Amino acid sequence: MNLTQMLLKEMEQEIATTRKMLALVPNDKFDWKPHEKSMSMKSLAIHIAEIPGWPEHILEHEVLDFAAQPYTPAAVSNNKELLNLLETSYNKGRTLMEKTDDDTLVNKHWKMCMGETLLADLTKYEAIRHAFAQTTHHRAQLGVYLRLNNIPIPGSYGPSADDQSF
């Protein structure tokens, strides 16, 4: 199994867990925040739904410069649109991943910067793995948001207090 195949397998496993979590985000809690400095549940959920599409940008470009390309989140107004965004992002990311090779992943770099400030300089493999880690991190945040709203949390890497059926 090569690196691309391993990443695709991991992506498939992660998307299943992400679908379960995002399906629980209630429309009437989109504006809810656990703290004034926190993202709203909607903003966090949109961010999570967009991450599976990151391999598309990583594989097609060498640099992401937030100063030149400010981030604008997708427009989502309900849970159905959120889940559609997730599927669209996943399909874009997966399609590009299926077309790549190990040489590209290991020997080509991708940089993230803010104007002249370099934020990251990674191989394309490292950048994609970083995106997967971001998914896990933000999904855990969303789990706290849901828990604080008394919404049962599904298991992800094992059972949860609410879901023993893992």
Percent of the chain with pLDDT over 70: 99
pLDDT tens, position by position, 7-27: 999 999 999 999 999 999 999
Angstrom distance (rounded) from CA 126 to CA 99? 17
pLDDT of residue 110: 98
Domain boundaries, the chain: 40-166
Dihedral of alpha carbons 153, 157, 158, 164, sign? positive
Summarize the annotated binding site for a divalent metal cation as residue ranges.
47, 138
Q: Which two tokens stand for residue 156?
A: 């992800």
In the chain the beta strands, taken as DSSP E runs, fall at 63-65, 109-114, 117-123
pLDDT of residue 165: 79
pLDDT of residue 166: 63
Q: Could you give the count of Cα atoms lying within 13 Å of 88 in the half-sphere of its Cβ? A: 10
Angstrom distance (rounded) from CA 2 to CA 90? 20
Angstrom distance (rounded) from CA 132 to CA 8? 11
| Average of per-residue pLDDT across 45-55 | 98
| Average of per-residue pLDDT across 41-57 | 98
Query: Is the pLDDT reported for residue 118 higher than 80?
Result: yes
What Rg value do the Cα atoms of the chain yield, rounded? 17
Options 1.20.120, 2.30.30, 1.10.1760, 2.60.40; CATH of 40-166:
1.20.120
pLDDT of residue 164: 84
pLDDT tens, position by position, 133-152: 999 999 999 999 999 999 99
Summarize the annotated binding site as residue ranges.
47, 138
pLDDT of residue 60: 97
pLDDT of residue 40: 98
pLDDT of residue 71: 87
Angstrom distance (rounded) from CA 39 to CA 17? 21
pLDDT tens, position by position, 155-166: 888 999 988 876
